[in-house]
Amino acid sequence: MTGSRKDKIILQNLTVSYEEKGGLFTALDDISFGVADGEFVSVIGSSGCGKSTLLSVLEGLLRPSGGSALIDGAPISGPGPDRGVVFQSYSLFPWMTARKNVAFGIKHARRELKRAEVYRIADEYLEKVGLSDSRGRYPSRLSGGMQQRVAIARALAMDTDILLMDEPFGAVDAKNRVQLQEMLLDLWGHEARRKTVVFITHDIDEAIFLSDRVVMLTESPGRVYRDIHVPFPRPRDRSGLLGSSVYVEFRRDVTALFFGDKTGETEDDWVKI
């Protein structure tokens, strides 16, 4: 999967290390994989494996110590209007209403738009995530799940090529999480032009249900442990999929791999489906 020329995002031998008291700490070590245009890729790993560091590089907030991170063939030099980001929390500005938050994002991603148009799009996307009635509320008056809906509405409304999501449903309760996953998949699948998504999670079911590919990282330093193609066709129906025996089997294999990663072994003993 590495380095195909037409990939939207390419990571080549990406290494990130920090100066620490005890010396140099390597968070990511020699990461290489690509994400094709319109592909939905999850990066999965236990906490502290550097998956959020990986996303920070793609967001342009963190410079690689070695190797390269390319978008459309050009190295990432900083945050850019081609990427929309959803964090686990604090994506929204607490002093702006839901509507204002979305509009603020649109205004900065699409500077050519007129004010009225910005608010029209904001309202349209708030409706898509089912929050038309709450658009005048401040984030402090919204539940965690609703806040993430607003953040997703903002990221989608910005109409960027790439969507970067850093455990967006990590702080949401189980029931809401399922609803949000389905909503995200539905919105993503119905866009005129599918966005390229990099989605960070530690939830195996979430990764499988959402993605075309799952990239599994080892623990410190983070290395690519497995790059797994998810074979299920879209559109995916949760209840149908989760009950099927292929899914159960696939999930069992992925889980075995995930928990087998104690030694950081990387030889290929995995039979691809």
Partner 1 sequence: MSPAKLSFRTRYVRTANLLFAIFLLIQFLPNRISKADAPGYAVGFAVIAEAALLCASALATKKTGLCLIADIAAFLYALLIAWTLATAKFNLTKEMLFPPPGIVFRQLAEDVPQLGRHIGSSLALIAQGYLLALAAALPLGLVLGYSARIGNAAAYVAKFLGAIPPVVYIPYGIALLPSFRSVSVLVIFLASFWPILAATMSGVLLVERRIVDSARVLNVGRLTMLFRIILSAALPQILIGCSQGLTVSFILLTSAEMIGARSGMGFYVKNYSDLGNYTRTIVGVLVVGIVISAVFFAFNKLQKFLLRWR
Residues that bind partner 1 (CB under 8 A): 59-61, 79-81, 83, 85, 87, 89-96, 104-105, 108-109, 138-140, 158, 164
Residue 136 to residue 75: CA distance in whole angstroms: 39
- Please state the closest distance from residue 98 (CB atom) to partner 1, in A: 11
Residue 92 or 129: the one with the smaller Cβ distance to partner 1 is 92
Residue 48 or 79: the one with the smaller Cβ distance to partner 1 is 79
- Please state the closest distance from residue 71 (CB atom) to partner 1, in A: 14
Query: Are 142 and 114 contacting, i.e. CB atoms less than 8 angstroms apart?
Result: no
Residue 180 to residue 192: CA distance in whole angstroms: 20
| Token representation of residue 63 | 């410079």
Cβ neighbours around 268 below 10 Å, total: 7
- Please state the closest distance from residue 24 (CB atom) to partner 1, in A: 22
Residue 147 or 181: the one with the smaller Cβ distance to partner 1 is 147
Q: Residue 29 to residues 78, 105, 214: CA-CA distances in angstroms?
A: 21, 33, 18
Residue 140 or 245: the one with the smaller Cβ distance to partner 1 is 140
- Please state the closest distance from residue 107 (CB atom) to partner 1, in A: 9
Taking Cα atoms as reference points, which of 270, 263, 251 lies closest to residue 44? 251
